[in-house]
Chains A and B, each alone.
Chain A
Amino acid sequence: MTAHESPRAPSPIRAFAPLAGLLLAFSVGPAPAMAVQQRPTADACIECHLTLDEDRLSAPATMFETDIHAERGFGCLACHGARKNSDALDPSAGFLSKPSRREIPELCGSCHSDAAFMRDYDPSLRVDQVLEYRSSIHGQRLMEEDDADVATCVSCHPAHATRPPSDTESSVYPSRVAELCGSCHGDPEIMGRHDIGTEQLEDYKGSVHGKLMYEEEDLTAPTCNDCHGNHGAAPPGLASVANVCGECHSMMATLFSENGHADLFIEQDLPGCATCHANHAVEEVTDEALTLRSEEICGQCHEDDDPFGHEFVEMKRLVDSLKAQHAAGLTLLEEAENAGMEVGQALFELEGVNTALTKARTAVHSFRVDPVKEEVEAGLEIAEAARRRGIEALEEHRFRRVGLALSTAVIALLIVGLLLKIKDIEERATESLPP
């Protein structure tokens, strides 16, 4: 290895930057000319490391070929190398064989926190990851306690094998994130040292979000980092749960924040949305939960004779009434459709009931009956119109049958009349023939 292989070395830290360039993973498109020029023409490190028997020394050389940094023109020396015109293996000249855990965030940040540098690769990429990391539980424990268990950059973005999150092979591809976090948070040995439970991964897999991610393969489904943050990972506090959920469920979060219970929940150590819906094990919400859970949860504060503690019972009755009317309308329209009647538009309009149902279920988060009632009544009007349309269509169907019978009778009479006329004409023609 020679000093001229070092791509750039204006400062010792910057020389290592591309190893930590995990966030380059977000960038797309060809590398700028500068990066290409920096790439060593022959990477002697890789050539040599590939021949080494020890896996820890040969594996980085093997993996690095597909690393995003390699693709962007960065070689080994970009992170491990020394200053220009010095011995590449000389630690005093900046050579770094293996950065310590404490050094890693700063090493990565030397490039990824430099907006001017990153602009050459991906101007849209954020440059505050290190700052966020320092605020995270991981970062704080690393910096303050030198905790060997906490994650650093390379725990999630493996050194020498970093891929963009959009790459299906990436360790941070959305469908891999939960397993990635679970590799530590599901390990009883590691978590046992910090008195943290290990059920989160399994809870998530069984949750409505996990099912969306794994069964429906919906990559937009929330995973760990959507609620906890990624570089600034930390559990949301009691007061923040609704904000976190509200990122997606904004209507519910707004209604909850306005219903006067948000502060009361915090006072009672109740974790906002998670009080009813759980956190990692969020289940699919059913209307039955309105009464089953509310009795248990509301009963913690509301006495049995307190009418406000039982409003969910009325809400469920309203929602059930709308569902029943929807089913009645749908049954009639389907019966008419099966009879050959054109009720496509009516069926389309009936979909409005589902919209009203969704709105009513959302309004439940106001914890008041009136907003739910308002939405249900709007839906009932639509359902009633569909029901009437179904009845009309079936009446029309009966009318057609009667009409057909009458018109067939008229036509049959005409045919009989014609046949009699033909017979008459032909008989007269025969009679007029000469004998």
Chain B
Amino acid sequence: MTEQRHAGAMRRLWQWLDYRVGLSELLPLARKKRVPIHRHTFWYYMGGMLVFLFMLQVATGVLLLFYYRPSSEGAFESIQFLMAEVEFGWLIRSIHAWGANLMVFTAFVHMFSVYLLKAYRAPRELTWMTGAGLLFLAMGLGFTGYLLPWNELAFFATRVGTEIPAVIPGVGPFIREFLRGGDDVTGATLTRFYALHISVLPGLMILLVGLHVLLVQRHGMSVPPSVEAEGGGKTSISFFPNFVLRDLVGWLSALAILAAMAAFFPAELGEKADPFASAPIGIKPEWYFMFMFQSLKYFPARVLGVEGELVGVLAFGFMAAVLVLMPFLDRGGKDGRPDPFWNILAWGTLLYIIVLTYVGYTADSTL
């Protein structure tokens, strides 16, 4: 009897909302979408995982804002208080910190899988380009968020990081000053990184995620050329509820992993930044910048009369441009099959990133 009353209330609520929002029109739309089933279907889950991780970052980020004080005098202390005194403050911050790493890692996996499965082919060029933009935004969020605890390592890493664009002729020094809010990393840098981290970059990200998801919804999932050639990819499952429920399994697994990371390896705080102290040995950026940071060390002082570091920065700028414009650069092989050059380039780049990141963490940092 009670159950019947409960079901009746739910039905009335649904009807109330449906009358005003038109929910019943959305359901067929969700059910209409199909997800192809083939041997590479696993990689389709990466996109949904990124949406989940982004939502988790927003949720934990908002909770952190309740306690965080964005000033060079209060930032470190507020995080210290959060970690030591606030109930579950350690959990929220640790999930935010580990979630950020997992989000960037998943974004890389998503990008490489989409690249290797050639999912950027027409008409999905804009989906790819918005995805590349989202990857850059995620890295920007990581860079700006790294400074916010105002600890020693972050302070000096930011000083090094914001110095790098200064080698660009003309606009370089302006970029450095714009990022720092002055000549050096100070409390002014902290407040503008804070503004970028909690409003500008997430705002842009929400816009791009919206556009990206809209385009995915419009074009559906891409079946890789290799699967098409084998005649596969014809079977599919409903996006809702079948695929969404599978997505949920992934999301819950990610949450369990993040909780374990937070419990076993809580986010560290270190020493408070002291702008007058000498830089500690072995300053390292976040792992996803390591391959670039390490590469710049290997550039000679001058390359064909141009400053080596500038050549390095321009090279990475060029690679970023190639990444964004990939759908227009890869026009496929002559026989209609994928051009192997782009696959070799992708595997080569992946190997380069892994090796340079490994070297960055293991090489003698004093050299």
Return the contact of A422 from the options B80, B242, B264, B265 (Cβ within 8 A): B242
What residues on A are CB-neighbors of B242 within 8 Å?
422, 425-426, 429
- Contact between A412 and B256 (Cβ–Cβ < 8 Å)? yes
What residues on A are CB-neighbors of B265 within 8 Å?
340
What residues on B are CB-neighbors of A196 within 8 Å?
none
Return the contact of A425 from the options B245, B248, B266, B268 (Cβ within 8 A): B245
A400 at the interface (CB under 8 A from B): yes
Determine the residue in chain A with the shortest Cβ distance to B245: A422
What residues on B are CB-neighbors of A415 within 8 Å?
249, 252-253
What residues on B are CB-neighbors of A345 within 8 Å?
80-81, 84
1/0 contact trace for A336-374 toward B, CB 8 Å?
A: 000011111110000000000000000000000000000
A414 at the interface (CB under 8 A from B): yes
Complex Cα gap A345–B78 (Å): 11
- Contact between A346 and B84 (Cβ–Cβ < 8 Å)? yes
A44 at the interface (CB under 8 A from B): no
What residues on A are CB-neighbors of B245 within 8 Å?
418, 421-422, 425
- Contact between B246 and A400 (Cβ–Cβ < 8 Å)? no
A401 at the interface (CB under 8 A from B): yes
1/0 contact trace for A404-432 toward B, CB 8 Å?
A: 10011001101100110110011001000
What residues on A are CB-neighbors of B90 within 8 Å?
342, 400
A403 at the interface (CB under 8 A from B): yes
- Contact between A342 and B249 (Cβ–Cβ < 8 Å)? no
Determine the residue in chain A with the shortest Cβ distance to B84: A342
1/0 contact trace for A373-404 toward B, CB 8 Å?
A: 00000000000000000000000000011011
B201 at the interface (CB under 8 A from A): no
B81 to chain A, nearest CB (A): 8
Complex Cα gap A415–B241 (Å): 15
- Contact between A344 and B252 (Cβ–Cβ < 8 Å)? no
A374 to chain B, nearest CB (A): 30
What residues on B are CB-neighbors of A401 within 8 Å?
263
B259 at the interface (CB under 8 A from A): yes
Determine the residue in chain B with the shortest Cβ distance to A403: B263
What residues on B are CB-neighbors of A419 within 8 Å?
249
With contacts A342-B80, A404-B259 taken as known, whether A418 is within 8 angstroms of B248 at the C-beta atoms is yes
With contacts A404-B259, A421-B245, A425-B245 taken as known, whether A342 is within 8 angstroms of B266 at the C-beta atoms is yes
A340 to chain B, nearest CB (A): 5
What residues on B are CB-neighbors of A404 within 8 Å?
259-260, 263-264
Complex Cα gap A408–B259 (Å): 8
B30 to chain A, nearest CB (A): 14
Most-contacted residue by chain B among A344, A401, A407 (CB, 10 A): A344
Determine the residue in chain B with the shortest Cβ distance to A393: B84
A295 to chain B, nearest CB (A): 45
Complex Cα gap A414–B246 (Å): 12
What residues on B are CB-neighbors of A403 within 8 Å?
263
- Contact between A340 and B266 (Cβ–Cβ < 8 Å)? yes
B221 at the interface (CB under 8 A from A): no
Complex Cα gap A341–B84 (Å): 8
Complex Cα gap A418–B242 (Å): 10
1/0 contact trace for B338-353 toward A, CB 8 Å?
A: 0000000000000000
B83 at the interface (CB under 8 A from A): yes
B269 at the interface (CB under 8 A from A): yes
With contacts A340-B265, A408-B260, A422-B246 taken as known, whether A414 is within 8 angstroms of B84 at the C-beta atoms is no
With contacts A342-B90, A407-B259 taken as known, whether A418 is within 8 angstroms of B249 at the C-beta atoms is yes
Determine the residue in chain B with the shortest Cβ distance to A389: B84
Determine the residue in chain A with the shortest Cβ distance to B268: A340
Complex Cα gap A400–B266 (Å): 11
B168 at the interface (CB under 8 A from A): no
Complex Cα gap A251–B159 (Å): 44
What residues on A are CB-neighbors of B91 within 8 Å?
400
B67 to chain A, nearest CB (A): 13
Complex Cα gap A311–B153 (Å): 50
What residues on A are CB-neighbors of B266 within 8 Å?
340-342
B175 at the interface (CB under 8 A from A): no
Within A53-106, the residues touching B (CB, 8 Å) are none
Return the contact of B269 from the options A344, A421, A425, A429 (Cβ within 8 A): A344
Complex Cα gap A411–B253 (Å): 8
With contacts A340-B264, A344-B269 taken as known, whether A411 is within 8 angstroms of B255 at the C-beta atoms is yes
1/0 contact trace for A297-337 toward B, CB 8 Å?
A: 00000000000000000000000000000000000000000
Complex Cα gap A419–B246 (Å): 8
B87 to chain A, nearest CB (A): 10
1/0 contact trace for A199-211 toward B, CB 8 Å?
A: 0000000000000
Complex Cα gap A412–B252 (Å): 8
- Contact between B84 and A408 (Cβ–Cβ < 8 Å)? no
Complex Cα gap A344–B272 (Å): 10
What residues on A are CB-neighbors of B246 within 8 Å?
422
Complex Cα gap A346–B81 (Å): 11
A195 to chain B, nearest CB (A): 53
A432 to chain B, nearest CB (A): 13
- Contact between B252 and A414 (Cβ–Cβ < 8 Å)? yes
Determine the residue in chain B with the shortest Cβ distance to A339: B266
What residues on A are CB-neighbors of B269 within 8 Å?
342, 344
Complex Cα gap A401–B253 (Å): 18
What residues on B are CB-neighbors of A414 within 8 Å?
252
With contacts A421-B245, A425-B242 taken as known, whether A344 is within 8 angstroms of B80 at the C-beta atoms is yes
Return the contact of B241 from the options A341, A400, A425 (Cβ within 8 A): A425
What residues on B are CB-neighbors of A421 within 8 Å?
245
Complex Cα gap A412–B256 (Å): 8
Within B221-248, the residues touching A (CB, 8 Å) are 237, 241-242, 245-246, 248
Complex Cα gap A401–B262 (Å): 10
What residues on A are CB-neighbors of B84 within 8 Å?
341-346
- Contact between A411 and B256 (Cβ–Cβ < 8 Å)? yes
What residues on B are CB-neighbors of A343 within 8 Å?
84
- Contact between B263 and A400 (Cβ–Cβ < 8 Å)? yes
Determine the residue in chain A with the shortest Cβ distance to B260: A404
Determine the residue in chain B with the shortest Cβ distance to A405: B263
Most-contacted residue by chain A among B83, B237, B249 (CB, 10 A): B249
Most-contacted residue by chain B among A341, A342, A344, A426 (CB, 10 A): A342
Give 9 nearest A-B pairs by CB, closest first: A342-B83, A404-B263, A342-B84, A411-B256, A340-B266, A400-B263, A422-B245, A411-B252, A418-B249
For the complex with contacts A340-B266, A404-B260, A411-B259, 17 further pairs of A-B residues with Cβ separation under 8 Å are: A341-B266, A342-B80, A342-B83, A344-B84, A345-B80, A400-B90, A404-B263, A407-B259, A408-B259, A412-B256, A414-B252, A415-B253, A418-B249, A422-B245, A422-B246, A425-B242, A426-B237
A-B contacts, 23 listed (Cβ < 8 Å): A340-B265, A340-B266, A340-B268, A342-B90, A342-B269, A343-B84, A344-B80, A344-B84, A400-B90, A400-B91, A400-B263, A408-B260, A411-B253, A411-B255, A411-B256, A414-B252, A418-B245, A418-B248, A418-B249, A418-B252, A421-B245, A425-B245, A426-B242
